[in-house]
Amino acid sequence: MTGSGRIATVLRSTCCASALTLLVTGAGPASHAGPRLSEGSRQLAYPAGMGRRQLAIVPVVHRLAKHSATCAVSSRTLGSSSVAYAAILRRDSLIREAPRARSPVIARLGSHDGHGFREVLGVIGVHAGPRCLPDWYRVELPVLPNGTTGWVRAWAVRTYRVRSRIVVDVSQRRLRLFRSGSLAFETPVAVGASATPTPLGRYFVNERYVLPDDSGPFGPNALGISAHSEVLAHVWVEDGPTGIHGTNEPWSIGQAASHGCIRVSNVTMRRLFQLAPAGTPVVVEA
C-alpha cells in the first residue's frame, strides 16, 4: 500500500508459517527459551502497493436517490458476487458502533497500520443523510474478534471498487479466484492443522508483499488478510495474523499442515498476487 518497493520489511515465519510481522521479537509461542519460529525464517520483503496498477479511487455512490433532493435517513448494504467495495483511511479515525456521532467507539484506527501500509477497510454498507448523500460507511475491520464491523464517517475515507473475490473451501482444501463474478481459476491449498485451524469467515486483503528470495517459506509473494487465528491470538504477536502465501514445502499443498495460513504453490501465488488487489474479499468456508 505504500507504493514503494525500496523499504524492506522482515517477514518472520511464525503462526501460520507466515505471520507477516515486521522486525519484531517474541514472534513465537510463549517460551522461557525465547521465540520459537515454525520455519526459522527471517526474510526480507517489500511492500507491493495496492495492486491492479493502483486502483482508481471512486465514490461508492454519489447519491442514494437520483430524483429527489431530500431523503429519509436510511442505510443499505453494498456489494455483490461480482463487485465489492473497499476504502483507505484518509486520516486517523474513530470507528463507531452505529452511524451516529455519539455512538460508542469500537476502534481507533490510524491512516497507516503498524507496518506502514495505508489502512484498508472492507465497505459493506452505506448510510444516507437527509440530502441523499453518503455520510457514513459500514466497514469490516482487521481486528479481533474476527468479523467485527463498525461505521466510519464518509469524509474520513476514500472508496474504490474491487472486482476480485477469493473463496477458500477448507474441507475441500481449494481456493477459487473470481473476477467480476466469473471463476478465473482454482487451485489446491494447504490449510491450518486441526490444532491451529484456518479461521472461517469473511475477510479482506489488507497487505501485499513481494519477497526477493522465492525459495523461503513464503514463496515469491504474501497477502496479509484481516483474519486472526483465534487459537493463537493471545500467543503470537499482533493477535495471530493470517495470510495467503507461497511455500517452500510444495508437498504440503492439499494437506491440513499450517498454523492457520493458506499456502499455495509458488507458480499459483504469482498469478493470484496479480489478481488480488488490496481490499479483495476473502471468504473462508468450511
pLDDT band for 227, please (50, 70, 90 cuts). Answer: very high
> CA 101, CA 83: separation in Å to the nearest integer?
29
User: Do the Cβ atoms of 257 and 193 come closer than 8 Å?
Assistant: yes
DSSP symbol at 112: B
> CA 251, CA 267: separation in Å to the nearest integer?
14
User: Do the Cβ atoms of 223 and 245 come closer than 8 Å?
Assistant: yes
Per-residue pLDDT at 48: 80
pLDDT band for 83, please (50, 70, 90 cuts). Answer: very high
Comparing 9-13, 69-73, 192-196, 259-263, the range with the smallest average pLDDT is 9-13
Environment class of 114 (CB within 10 Å of its CB; exposed 0-12, middle 13-18, buried 19+): exposed
Provide mean pLDDT across the span 39-48: 67
Q: Which has the higher per-residue pLDDT, 36 or 6?
A: 6
For residue 7, the tally of other CB atoms under 10 A from its CB is: 9
Per-residue pLDDT at 23: 27
> CA 94, CA 76: separation in Å to the nearest integer?
21
Whether residue 32 lies in the annotated active site: no
Q: For residue 150, list its beta bridge partners.
A: 139
Cα–Cα distance list, 188 to 107, 138, 173, 177, 251 (Å): 36, 33, 6, 12, 11
Q: For residue 167, list its beta bridge partners.
A: 176, 283
> CA 200, CA 245: separation in Å to the nearest integer?
17
Per-residue pLDDT at 108: 96
- Cα 138 to its chain centre, rounded Å, is 16
Give tens-digit pLDDT for 151-178: 999 999 999 999 999 999 999 999 999 9
Cis omega (within 30 of 0) on the bond before 145? yes
Per-residue pLDDT at 124: 97
Whether residue 16 lies in the annotated active site: no
Q: Across the chain, what does the average pLDDT equal?
A: 82
Give the alpha-carbon dihedral of 198, 204, 210, 216, to 10 degrees. 0
Q: The cell 495474523 sits on which residue?
A: 241
Per-residue pLDDT at 29: 31
Share of the chain above pLDDT 90, in %: 61
pLDDT band for 115, please (50, 70, 90 cuts). Answer: confident
For residue 54, the tally of other CB atoms under 10 A from its CB is: 13
Per-residue pLDDT at 55: 64
Catalytic annotation, pick one of 115, 127, 245, 259? 245
Per-residue pLDDT at 147: 95
> CA 280, CA 278: separation in Å to the nearest integer?
6
273: part of which helix (H) or strand (E)? helix 266-275
pLDDT band for 262, please (50, 70, 90 cuts). Answer: very high
User: Do the Cβ atoms of 95 and 106 come closer than 8 Å?
Assistant: yes
| DSSP character string of 150-212 | EEEEGGGEEEEEE-EEEEEETTTTEEEEEETTEEEEEEE-BEE-TTSPPPPEEEEEEEEEE-S
Provide mean pLDDT across the span 208-217: 91
pLDDT band for 133, please (50, 70, 90 cuts). Answer: confident
**Cell numbers standing for residue 218:** 513464503
SS3 content of the chain, % helix, strand, coil (to 5): 5, 40, 55
